Amino acid sequence: MTERKHRNRTGHGHAVAFSISYQRDDLLARGLGIEHLRELLVRLARPVVRAGAGIAYDGAWRDEPGNFTFVLLQLINAEREDNVTGGPDTGLQIGGLVNHLAWPNYLEVTPAIEARWIHCCRIVRVTQEDAGLTDLVADDQAKSGSDPALWNAAVTLSAMRRLSPHSRSISIPDAASERIVGPRARIVLGGKLAGYRGFLPGVLEEVLVALEAQIPLYVLGGFGGVAEAVAQAFRDRTVTPPLTMAWNDQQAPELKRLRESGFNLPPSGLVRAADTMLAELRRRATEDRPLAEKFATGLDEHDTAELMSTSDPDRAVQLVRRGLERTLGIRAG
């Protein structure tokens, strides 16, 4: 047999993060359904996985239509199975999934679920202590709907979004610690405009963290959701509603009430106030710099702007792949 590698390993040692969520009405108004989002995610993730890079996606594990965790797990599983047949690529690394989960969401993941996907996925649990909280809520009170439970869940979620982009070591009792590689780029599409958990929509916070970390950021604005609002704000250098505190207070009135009734963020500074984050986003959106530079896409200005507005899945895939090749050297194929 010719000893020829079919898959390149240009992504080895890297991880690429995905921010994606589904909102039916918003997507349908753009002529698309969940099928489009699911397929787009697979088309974007597959070359990354095949090239040996990891995927970072902090989705929940509920088996429901808008959940993409299982889509990614099935993709990784299929690629790994395809890599054990004794051919020249056997034994080479296929990217896996790193899934950060904030309290109390990780309580839903049973050992049986985790064991089933352990060959494809590493779950990193972010606890209330990790978030710097001291007034802890017991696990069995997590779903009580009490004010402390609501507040601590929002704080821990925000902490997770601040922690997950960074490489770090995880301590394991009586075993060597494990190093989790932080993502070197982030791809953003969709994003909930209503019914999200936390102080801000996840996509907004993840966009801000990526901008601050100065990693390549690919915002696919043509597929609706918060990603579209972000794309529009940066493209037009304007303030779109999701970038305002008034809009977010309207979406999450319970958290507004708690904030006003004296609930405070932990003093560690890990979690920042929503209005501070929004102000920073607005500043970055309206500052006078080219988009390609702000987002470090590796694309030229025209292509970056097109990526942020196109609703053509082929074109979006093409541009993200081109950007990842230029910035991280990850090649498809």
Partner 1 sequence: MEPARARRCQARDNVARVATVTHQVPEIFVLWHPACELGETLASKIYAWLRPENGLGPQVFYRSAPAPEAPPRGLPPPLPGEQRAGRVTTPQRRGENLQILIVLADAHLVADPTWRAWLRQLAVDGASSVRRVFIPVALDGTAFNVPPPLGERNFLRPTGANEPDRAERERLVTRSLLKQLTEVLCRLLLRDGASDPEDDSGPKIKVFLSHAKVDGTSPAKSIRDHIYSQTQIAAFYDENDIPFGQAFARVIDQAVSTDTAALIAVQSAVYHRRPWCRFELSRFRRPIADAALPQHWRLPPVLVVDAIAGGESSRGIPELGNAPIVRWKEDAGTAAEQAEEIVTTVLREAVLAAFHHAAGRALHPRPGPGEVVTNWLPDPVTLLPIVAKHGEKLVVHYPGRGLSGLELDILFELFPAISFRSFEESLP
Peptide bond into 104 cis (omega under 30): yes
At residue 133, φ and ψ (nearest 5 deg) are -75, 145
Least CB distance from residue 73 to partner 1, whole Å? 15
> DSSP secondary-structure letter at 122?
E
Binding residue (CB under 8 A) for partner 1 from 7, 9, 14, 284: 7
Within residues 68-87, the interface with partner 1 by CB under 8 A covers 82-83, 85-87
**What is the closest distance, in whole angstroms, from the C-beta atom of residue 224 to partner 1 in the complex?**
8
Name which position in 25, 64, 174, 288 contacts partner 1 (CB under 8 A). 25
According to CB under 8 A, which one of 313, 323, 324, 330 is a site residue for partner 1?
313
CA distance 95 to 182: 13
328 in Cβ contact with 47 (< 8 Å): no
Q: Per CB under 8 A, does 260 bind partner 1?
A: no
Interface with partner 1 in residues 222-241 (CB under 8 A): 224
Record the tokens describing residue 191, joined without a space.
């994003």
Name the E strands within the chain: 15-21, 54-56, 97-102, 121-126, 168-172, 175-180, 185-190, 217-220
Residue 332 touching partner 1 (CB under 8 A): yes
Closest CA to 102 of 168, 158, 186, 18: 158
Of 33-62, binders to partner 1 (CB under 8 A) are: 33, 35-36, 39, 42-43, 46, 50
Contact indicator for 251, 265 with CB cutoff of 8 Å: no
Examine residue 302 and tell whether it contacts partner 1 (CB under 8 A): no
Nearest CA to 88 out of 4, 11, 9 is that of 4
Contact stretch for partner 1 (CB under 8 A) within 32-40, 55-63, 95-103, 265-273: 32-40
- Quote the least distance from Cβ 140 to partner 1, whole Å: 38
Binding site for partner 1 (CB under 8 A): 1-2, 4, 6-7, 25-26, 28-33, 35-36, 39, 42-43, 46, 50, 82-83, 85-89, 224, 311-315, 317-318, 321, 332-333
